[in-house]
Chain A
Amino acid sequence: MKILYFAWLRERLNRGEEEVSLPPGVATVGDLIDWLASRDEAAELAFAKRSLIKAAVDAKLVNHSAPIAGASVVALFPPMTGG
Chain B
Amino acid sequence: MGVRVSTGAFDPGAETNAFLAAGNGAGAAVTFTGVVRSKPDAPITALTLECYPDLAINQLTAIVAAATERFGLLAATVIHRYGTLGPGEPIVQVMTLSPHRDAAFKGAEFLMDYLKTDAPFWKQETGPTGTHWVEAKAEDDVAKARWE
Residues of A that sit less than 8 Å from B by CB: 4, 6-8, 10, 56, 59-61, 75, 77-83
Q: Which of A7, A8, A10, A81: most chain B Cβ within 10 A? A: A81
18 pairs across A/B with beta carbons < 8 Å? A4-B52, A6-B50, A6-B122, A7-B122, A56-B55, A56-B120, A60-B55, A61-B58, A78-B122, A78-B136, A79-B136, A80-B118, A80-B121, A81-B122, A81-B133, A82-B115, A83-B92, A83-B116
Q: Are B136 and A80 in contact (CB under 8 A)?
A: yes
| CA gap between A59 and B120 in the complex, in Å | 10
Q: How far is the CB of A23 from chain B (nearest CB, A)?
A: 26
Q: Are B122 and A80 in contact (CB under 8 A)?
A: yes
| Interface majority SS (helix, strand, loop, mixed), chain B | mixed
Q: Are A77 and B120 in contact (CB under 8 A)?
A: yes
Q: How far is the CB of A74 from chain B (nearest CB, A)?
A: 11
B119 within 8 A of A: yes
Mark each residue of chain B from 1 to 36: 1 if its CB lies under 8 Å from any CB of chain A, else 0.
Answer: 000000000000000000000000000000000100
